[in-house]
Amino acid sequence: MRILGLDFGSKTVGVAVSDPLGLTAQGVEIIRRKSESKQRQTLARIAELAEQYQAEKIVLGFPKNMNNTLGERAQKSLEFAEALKRRTGLDVVMWDERLTTVEANRTLMEEGIRRENRREHVDELAAIFILQGYLDYLRNTGEAAQDDA
């Protein structure tokens, strides 16, 4: 079962996909959004990718505040999740994404990527971290085996 992972932002959406066995996450692309209020093209591209990779589920980063409350970004992510469900017909799992962008930036820094070039990669890498966290959770809890039964 393949799963799409998304890091939803106001200007970009990082996209990752799992391998067919659901073990690892790989980056796919960064969708550039023309306007935060306009989502039609973004949803259409995600639907295309879901079909192309035969995804059965979408994992969407859920940007909770550090004190576990929900802010404006989290609310926008919940609204986007509903739009994704309507557009793709797939289950959308909200996955806590706290610190994934920080982790992605740190990884790029350690790789020697210059600051001005990090923006090009950080959202895709954050999507990979979101999806890999979910895949690891499934594997560690045994839920992956239950999904296949």
Pair 87, 47: CB distance under 8 Å: yes
pTM over the 0.75 mark:
yes
Least confident residue range of 34-38, 45-49, 64-68, 103-107: 103-107
CA distance 110 to 112: 5
Amino acid letter for position 121: H
Burial of 129 (0-12, 13-18, 19+ CB in 10 A): buried
The DSSP element (H or E) to which 148 belongs, if any, is helix 143-148
Whether CATH 3.40.50.150 fits 2-144? no
Terminal alpha carbon distance of the chain? 12
Q: Are 15 and 22 in contact (CB under 8 A)?
A: no
Give CA–CA dist 48/134, Å, rounded: 22
What are the sequence ranges of the domains in the chain? 2-144
Q: What is the pLDDT of residues 3-33, one digit of tens each?
A: 999 999 888 899 999 999 999 999 999 999 8
55-83 pLDDT, tens digit per residue, is 999 999 998 877 877 888 889 999 999 99
Distance, in Å, from the CA atom of 125 to the CA atom of 122, rounded to the nearest integer, reads 5
| Cα–Cα dist 80/84, whole Å | 6
Give 111's pLDDT tier (boundaries 50, 70, 90).
confident
